[in-house]
Amino acid sequence: MYIMIQSETVIGSQSDLKPNTKNGVIILMSQVYKVFLHTYGCQMNLYDGELVGSLLQSGGFQLISQPEEADVILINTCAVRDHAEQRVLGRLRTLGALKSRHPQLVIGVLGCMAQRLGEDLKKQVPTVDLVLGPDSYRSLSGLLKDQLSGHHGYLIGCSGNPQETYGDVLPTRREGISAFVAIMRGCDNFCSYCVVPYARGRERSRPPDEVLAEIQSAVEDGFTEVVLLGQNVNSYHWESTDFATLLIAIAAGVKDLRRLRFMTSHPRDLSDKLIEVMAEGGIVCPSLHLPAQSGSDRILELMNRGYTVSQYLTKVEKLRARVESLALSTDLMCGFPTESETEFEQTLNLMRTARFDDAFTFKYSPRPGTKAARLKDDVPEEVKIERLERMIAVTRALADESRSRMIGQKVEALLENVSPREASEWTGRTRCGRVILVPGAFRRGDIVNLQVEAVRGFSLWGQVNESQIQVE
Ligand code: 5AD
Ligand code: SF4
């Protein structure tokens, strides 16, 4: 089935084919298998999807966008809330029906849910052929080849390399102007509600030179903006380089990068040094995602977050005082076990005091294996729903106020696409990350100076006062 040249490497279930064929292995398959990959979840998972795409292409597979034509369908999953897992299970059952019409179809599950459930996933959805966790993707091509050549039944690989960073794999990025670059993987925080440390393993950082090289390569491929990713970027460290130092090194060492963002920051680890780097500006954008989770000290302690509300607010005050035009977003949860009405109202108060520009709000969802799952999930579902609705209402009001405050301000917009609603307008983002609509004809990647004149729904609207087409 396979012709292999220039190497004696045996293609087996654990074959470890690095991209760029560094080891000199070139593999020609008599048939090029088509893979459809769909990713759910957070930015880190999207980035992992891009790594998987690269590993598969190096392994001789072709990525396609139509599941009906695929030999292999891979679902890259999220496990952070039960709802996310239920969606994946529904999707897998639908794919099972497709498989009954195409028995040769290989169905694989990747990502956090694969790692969390392992064998149990096969029990729940027998049509699944392959289950692979986030640290095991180097074996994916080899395992798929085994599957496709009929050598193996069900395969599972969830005991990957706990130090894996895929440092030598250049992701196959989607078209656009903004590239994700992971600077670390895993998490050591063990917030009591969170499945991530179990699904993604212990924290590990990538060396700065590797990060800089990946960013430079993204810029050379036409990306203007880079978003650095990590579960807790503030605990990034490599020898004497901490996160703030890494930002300085990127700003100094990468040529032609226009904008640098990062996520996610843990409030406990956000340093004064980082605030000063953000205050300096330059390519570091004034947008920060700083999950607060709750406005109650007792609930924060139960969550094992490592800060109090007043410590959180002190950081917010420093940020607002030092970083001009900062857009601050957050994650908040309601209905954590034992949360009282008064404690929930403290979360609403925190939202107003911190004046969040945006917030992602969630109902607590117990995750098996976490510390919080041992507590009784005692806030009734209807109370959780009602609290969530109140958080959403406050979020909307704060976001509306935040956008209205921008009217009259001069901003710089990086233009991304023709507006889907109005062909004579382009959509872009301000440096603080807000969506802005701009009338006129432009090219993707143009950077223009604007005056914000109005708010249109969830977007700003502005006119060009001086345009500077980006120097290539
Ligand atoms: N239930 C509800 N929300 C959760 N999050 C993480 N774990 C849970 C859970 N078990 C939220 C947190 C986190 C965001 C990514 O998802 O707010 O910051
Ligand atoms: Fe989960 Fe906390 Fe780690 Fe974020 S910092 S991924 S909430 S354990």
pLDDT band for 469, please (50, 70, 90 cuts). Answer: very low
Q: Is 231 in the pocket of ligand 2 (CB under 6 A)?
A: yes
On the CB side of 443, CA atoms within 13 Å amount to: 9
pLDDT digits (tens, 9 = 90+) for 240-259: 999 999 999 999 999 999 99
Residue 451 near residue 465, CB atoms below 8 Å: yes
Taking the C-alpha atoms of residue 2 and residue 11, their distance in angstroms, rounded to an integer, is 9
Cα 217 from Cα 11, distance rounded (Å): 30
How far apart are the CA of 340 and the centre of ligand 1, in A? Answer: 19
CATH of the domain at 199: 3.30.750.210
- Residue 342 counted as domain residue: yes
pLDDT(8) > 70? no
Q: Which ligand is nearest to the CA of 370?
A: 1
How confident is residue 19, by pLDDT bands cut at 50, 70 and 90? very low
pLDDT exceeds 60 at position 470: no
Of 238, 255, 285, the position where a domain reaches its end is: 285
Structurally, the chain folds into a number of domains equal to: 4
Residue 382 lies in domain: 294-303+323-405
Q: What is the pLDDT of residue 29?
A: 62
Dig out the tokens for 177 from the structure.
């102007």
Instruction: Give the closest ligand to the alpha carbon of residue 289.
Output: 1
Encoded tokens for 390? 């109140």
Query: Residues 85-93: contacts with CB within 8 Å, 24+ apart?
Result: 85/113, 87/40, 88/40, 88/113, 89/124, 89/125, 91/38, 92/125, 92/127, 92/128, 93/125
Across residues 264-293, what is the average pLDDT? Answer: 97
Any domain includes 310: no
| pLDDT given for residue 28 in this prediction | 52
Nearest CA to ligand 1 atom 16: 80
Q: How confident is the model at residue 5 (pLDDT cuts 50, 70, 90)?
A: very low
Ligand 2, atom nearest to 293 Cα: 7
Mean pLDDT of 350-357: 98
Q: Is the pLDDT of residue 21 over 80?
A: no
CA of 81 to the centre of ligand 1 (A): 7
Q: Let me know if residue 171 belongs to a domain.
A: no
Does residue 266 have its Cβ closer than 6 Å to ligand 2? Answer: yes
Give the Å distance between the CA of 79 and the centre of ligand 2. 12
What are the pLDDT digits (tens) for 187-202?
A: 999 999 999 999 999 9
Q: State the chain's mean pLDDT as an integer.
A: 90
Tens-place pLDDT, residues 407-432? 999 999 999 999 988 889 999 999 99
Share of the chain above pLDDT 70, in %: 91
CA distances from 336 to 198, 294, 314, 360, 367 (A): 20, 9, 24, 16, 12
Q: Residue 406 pLDDT more than 50?
A: yes
Is the domain of 357 the same as that of 422?
no
Q: Which residue, of 405, 428, 444, is where some domain finishes? A: 405
Contact 187, 233 (CB under 8 A): no
In this predicted model, which residue has the larger pLDDT, 24 or 430? 430
Q: Does 314 map to a domain? A: no
| Cα distances (angstroms) measured from residue 31 to each of 14, 150, 151 | 21, 14, 16
Specify the residue with its C-alpha closest to ligand 1, atom 14: 331
Are 187 and 251 found together in one domain? yes
137-188 pLDDT tens trace: 999 999 999 889 876 666 776 778 899 999 999 999 988 899 999 999 999 9
- Same domain? 207 vs 255: yes
- CATH code for the domain of 448: 2.40.50.140
Phi-psi region of 282 (alpha: psi -120 to 50; beta: other; left: phi over 0): left
Q: Sign of dihedral through CA atoms 427, 429, 430, 434?
A: positive
Q: Name the least confident of 20-24, 305-309, 323-327, 465-469.
A: 20-24
Model pTM score: 0.91
**Is 204 domain-assigned?**
yes
Q: 153 and 13 share a domain?
A: yes
With a cut of 60, say whether residue 64 has pLDDT above it.
yes
User: What average pLDDT does the segment 275-279 reach?
Assistant: 98
361 lines ligand 2 (CB under 6 A): no
- Counting ligands in written order, which one lies closest to the CA of residue 265? 2
Helix (H) / strand (E) element for 311: namely helix 309-322
Asked if residue 185 and residue 121 are part of one domain, the reply reads no
Higher pLDDT: 159 or 401? It is 401
Are 109 and 82 contained in the same domain? Answer: yes
Residue 116, pLDDT above cutoff 50: yes
Whether cis (ω within 30° of 0) applies to the bond prior to 342 is no
Q: Give me the pLDDT at residue 12, please.
A: 26
Q: Is 98 helix (H, G, I), strand (E, B) or coil?
A: helix
Helices and strands counted in the chain (H then E):
13, 23
The answer on pLDDT for 27 being more than 70 is no
Q: How far is the CA of 260 from the centre of ligand 2 (A)?
A: 22
DSSP secondary structure letter of residue 88: H
Domain membership flag for residue 169 = no
- Ligand 1 site: residues with CB under 6 angstroms? 80-81, 193-194, 291, 293, 331, 333, 362, 364-365, 367
CA of 334 to the centre of ligand 1 (A): 10
Per-residue pLDDT for 368 more than 60? yes
Q: What is the CATH number of the domain that holds 120?
A: 3.40.50.12160
Last residue of a domain, one of 157, 185, 219: 157
Residue 164 lies in a domain: no
Cβ 399 vs Cβ 358: under 8 Å: yes
Regarding whether 132 and 66 lie in a shared domain, the answer is yes
Residue 4 pLDDT > 50, yes or no?
A: no
Ligand 2: does its nearest atom lie under 6 Å from the Cβ of 192?
no
Calculate mean pLDDT across residues 299-306.
98
Provide the 8-state DSSP code for 26.
E
Closest residue by Cα to residue 44 from 264, 362, 195: 264
194 lines ligand 2 (CB under 6 A): yes
The amino acid that residue 137 corresponds to is Y
Q: Domain containing 377 — which CATH number? A: 3.30.750.200
The response to whether residue 191 sits with its C-beta less than 6 Å from ligand 2 reads yes
Residues 30 and 119 in one domain: yes
Element (H, E) at 412: strand 410-418
Instruction: Write the CA distances from 348 to 87, 351, 390, integer angstroms.
Output: 29, 5, 8
Whether residues 22 and 150 share a domain: the answer is yes
In a mutational test of the pocket of ligand 2, which residue from 192, 193, 196, 266 has the highest number of ligand atoms less than 8 Å from its CB?
A: 196
CA distance 450 to 406: 12
Co-location of 387 and 432 in the same domain: no
Instruction: Measure the CA–CA gap between 427 and 176, rounded to whole angstroms.
Output: 13
Of the two residues 155 and 315, the one the predictor is more confident about is: 315
pLDDT score recorded for residue 314: 98
For the CA of 331, the closest atom of ligand 1 is 17
Nearest to 67 by CA among 114, 102, 42: 102
13 and 137 co-located in one domain: yes
Residue 25 has pLDDT above 60, yes or no: no
471, pLDDT greater than 50:
no
Q: Clarify whether residues 42 and 107 are in a common domain.
A: yes
Does 249 reside within a domain? yes
Pick the closest to residue 75 from 122, 34, 114 (CA basis).
114
Q: For 22-124, where are the E strands, in sequence order?
A: 26-29, 34-39, 62-64, 72-77, 106-110
